[in-house]
Amino acid sequence: MRVHIADHPLITHKLSVLRDVATPSPVFRQLVDELMTLLAYEATRDVRVDKIQVTTPVAVTDGVKLSHPRPIVVPILRAGLGMLDGMMKLLPTAQVGFLGIKRNEETLQPVVYANRLPDDLTGRQVYIIDPMLATGGTLIDSINFVFERGATDVTAICLIGSPEGVAAVEQHVHGKAVKLVLGSLDEKLNEKGYIVPGLGDAGDRLYGTVD
Ligand code: URA
């Protein structure tokens, strides 16, 4: 697995405001959107393109266009929804497939509670978006889900990751075409499964449901 941790002062600046407990939901949503667009630039470095010829007012020149089948963006419900617009700004012609996936606490088996993805992902480039890579469980299950349907390469984009989550994903996807793009690699997970220093519960902070 290739891991890319963004090292850019603008990303670190925006993440610092995002982390601040005093940042209200509207500003939080705006920052997630902006961060996603910045991370998408790196994450799409390997997006498949075909060569084309373009006629400018002056000459004919070589160019590229996105290959078919188009890439598919998969936000993981619910917090991944906050990253979707920022991603689509850079890949406006991508398809979007929604995935709600969680672990059964007793059996530890993945439970898919929402699936609006094509059954056949043969040959597709998939971009999974989810803000927090904590234990890695949801991301591992999501990666399995799309590979089982034929996806050939997967890029996962998370705003913040934990070393434990990165190690778990790395161990699981060993040898598969997976790239992980992070805005920050934080220090650790705490006993409640929150990333430290992190930003708290991304879904609650996006949608204002924290009490
Ligand atoms: N999910 C979150 O939203 N935040 C964390 O810190 C860990 C998992």
Q: How far is the CA of 203 from the centre of ligand 1 (A)?
A: 8
CA distance 37 to 161: 18
Query: What is the rounded end-to-end Cα distance, in angstroms, of the chain?
Result: 38
Q: Report pTM.
A: 0.95
Residue stretches of the chain with pLDDT short of 50: none
Peptide bond into 69 cis (omega under 30): yes
Contact between 165 and 136 under an 8 Å Cβ cutoff? The reply is yes
Cβ-contact 83, 131 below 8 angstroms? yes
Q: How far is the CA of 161 from the centre of ligand 1 (A)?
A: 9
Instruction: Tell me, in angstroms, the distance from the centre of ligand 1 to residue 126's CA.
Output: 23
| pLDDT at residue 211, as a whole number | 56
pLDDT at 209: 77
Q: 198: Cβ below 6 Å to ligand 1? A: yes
Enumerate domains of the chain plus CATH numbers.
2-49+64-207 (3.40.50.2020)
pLDDT of residue 103: 77
